[in-house]
């Protein structure tokens, strides 16, 4: 089963999600997104796989969220994606992709839905 985790090793939820995947026999490709930020096409793909809008991937408590006045642009998908590309610290973490599906690991157990009914 091919899996990817967009991971921040300093984040406890991200570490817990990675450990949970491993406990279930999944050894994902780990992408430390602060070191290797996703580009626009990758983010658009993640959003499709999540079935969610870009605003759901934003960490609203980050300083950059306020500094960029993103609260006023939550319906501007292109602007939010551009902000995520330019400021990857805004990306909610972790994001796990298995096959054609993705989930945000908040709580970490949320990614377990990706392990059921998967043929990847």
CB 23 within 8 A of CB 48: no
For 38, the domain range is 3-115
Residue 28 belongs to some domain of the structure: yes
The answer to whether residue 13 sits within a structural domain is yes
Report if residue 87 sits inside a domain: yes
At 76-111, the pLDDT tens digits run 999 999 999 999 999 999 999 999 999 999 999 999
Distance of alpha carbon 62 from alpha carbon 66, whole angstroms: 7
Question: Which among 1, 11, 85, 112 is annotated as catalytic?
Answer: 11
Domain count, the chain: 1
Instruction: Based on the residue annotation, tell me whether 11 is a catalytic residue of this protein.
Output: yes
Q: For residue 120, is it within any domain?
A: no
Instruction: Give the closest residue to 97 by CA, choosing from 11, 28, 25, 15.
Output: 28
Assigned domain for 10 exists = yes
CATH number of 56's domain: 3.40.30.10
Looking at the domain assignment, is residue 16 inside a domain?
A: yes
Q: What is the pLDDT of residues 25-75, one digit of tens each?
A: 999 999 999 999 999 999 999 999 999 999 999 999 999 999 999 999 999
């Amino acid at each position: 089963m091919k899996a990817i985790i967009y991971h921040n090793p300093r984040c406890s939820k991200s570490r817990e999600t990675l450990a949970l995947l491993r406990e279930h026999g999944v050894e994902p490709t780990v992408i430390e997104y602060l070191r290797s930020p996703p580009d626009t096409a990758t983010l658009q793909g993640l959003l499709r796989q999540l079935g969610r809008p870009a605003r759901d991937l934003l960490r609203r408590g980050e300083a950059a969220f306020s500094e960029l006045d993103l609260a006023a642009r939550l319906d501007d998908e292109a602007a939010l994606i551009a902000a995520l590309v330019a400021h990857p610290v805004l990306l909610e973490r972790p994001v796990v992709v298995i096959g054609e599906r993705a989930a945000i690991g908040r709580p970490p157990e949320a990614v377990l839905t990706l392990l059921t009914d998967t043929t990847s």
